[in-house]
Copies of this chain bind each other. A is one copy, B any other.
């Protein structure tokens, strides 16, 4: 990963530098950056992105359509010919689109054709970190949409692509954090003394990034991750529920129905608070994004 720009550095750029730096967040469409350059300073990457999406929404219909049409097909001719933008090349590769079998290639070609004949613009999806199955499912889920709905959806995907590109360049404001809370729903009280580890998952790689024990309120004493340590990506809690049940004298089967419990989740906005708790009984569990 290259060094990230600070929000201060973004604020200090002259307009031309700003547009040069961020003109490609929206594929071949520097006008988006141009229209928000004067709205600086931005308090957060979230705000910077919101402003840019506001500029897209406020644009004329033909500008929006041009923006959509500026995108390459997924696994299409431009990709084969090596003519993608630098960003697109990496994104498509991260989803395995650079190593399709001939059959898969044919399927993508068919779907790209069907989609662009129906809507008049290419299929756009924020594919970074996705896999082929999810992308193909995305085609299936959107091919039947009404055109106005699909245009809106495509613009939302453009926004997500820009968001992911932005996170590769600008350091988020240090407002984000990840917290948890374990409640014992059979006993009606916080689950204290429960060991928890947190892992970061990058494809097949798995890195432990924290090791905790819940306190008397069933919480960790501090956020598991916060500020610069809290980055977008895929994470997994592993809750040692078997240890907790043993410690509280709760009888379980052998092996216990719930023992070492993984909960996997994705973080898209590292400036936000993600509360990802566990409601636990010996025979049931729930989780959700809380606040």
When C-beta atoms are compared, the residue in chain B nearest to A277 turns out to be: B290
| Chain B residues, Cβ within 8 Å of A281 | 185-186, 281, 284
| Chain B residues, Cβ within 8 Å of A126 | 254
Is residue A128 contacting chain B, with contact meaning CB distance below 8 A?
Answer: yes
Cβ–Cβ contact A283 & B188, under 8 A: yes
Chain B: minimal CB distance from A125 (Å):
8
| Chain B residues, Cβ within 8 Å of A114 | none
| Chain B residues, Cβ within 8 Å of A283 | 185-188, 288-289
Instruction: Give residues 53-67 of A contacting B (CB, 8 Å).
Output: none
CA distance A250 to B186 in the complex (A): 11
| Chain B residues, Cβ within 8 Å of A246 | 134-135, 137-138, 140-141
Cβ–Cβ contact A185 & B291, under 8 A: no
Chain A 118-159 interface mask (CB, 8 Å, partner B; 1/0): 000000001011100111011011101110110011001000
Cβ–Cβ contact B148 & A148, under 8 A: yes
Cβ–Cβ contact B258 & A266, under 8 A: yes
Is residue A256 contacting chain B, with contact meaning CB distance below 8 A?
Answer: yes
Is residue A163 contacting chain B, with contact meaning CB distance below 8 A?
Answer: yes
Is residue A42 contacting chain B, with contact meaning CB distance below 8 A?
Answer: no
**Chain A residues with a Cβ closer than 8 Å to the other chain, count:** 75
| Chain B residues, Cβ within 8 Å of A266 | 253, 255-259
Chain B: minimal CB distance from A274 (Å):
8
CA distance A138 to B248 in the complex (A): 8
Spot the interface stretch: A20-28, A79-87, A236-244: A236-244
Cβ–Cβ contact A145 & B249, under 8 A: yes
CA distance A238 to B15 in the complex (A): 48
| Chain B residues, Cβ within 8 Å of A279 | 284, 286, 288
Is residue A269 contacting chain B, with contact meaning CB distance below 8 A?
Answer: yes
Is residue A264 contacting chain B, with contact meaning CB distance below 8 A?
Answer: yes
Chain A 203-245 interface mask (CB, 8 Å, partner B; 1/0): 0000000000000011000000000000011100000101110
Question: Given A145-B249, A185-B284, A185-B288, 6 other A-B contacts at CB below 8 A?
Answer: A134-B240, A134-B259, A137-B244, A160-B253, A189-B291, A258-B265
Q: Please list 24 pairs of residues, one from A and one from B, whose beta carbons are closer than 8 Å in the complex, sorted by A's number.
A: A129-B255, A130-B242, A134-B259, A135-B246, A137-B243, A137-B244, A140-B246, A144-B249, A160-B253, A183-B290, A185-B185, A186-B281, A188-B288, A253-B268, A255-B268, A256-B266, A256-B268, A258-B264, A258-B266, A259-B264, A281-B281, A281-B284, A283-B289, A284-B288
Could you tell me which A residues sit within 8 Å of B by CB distance? 126, 128-130, 133-135, 137-138, 140-142, 144-146, 148-149, 152-153, 156, 160-161, 163-164, 183, 185-190, 195, 217-218, 232-234, 240, 242-244, 246-251, 253-262, 264-269, 279, 281-291
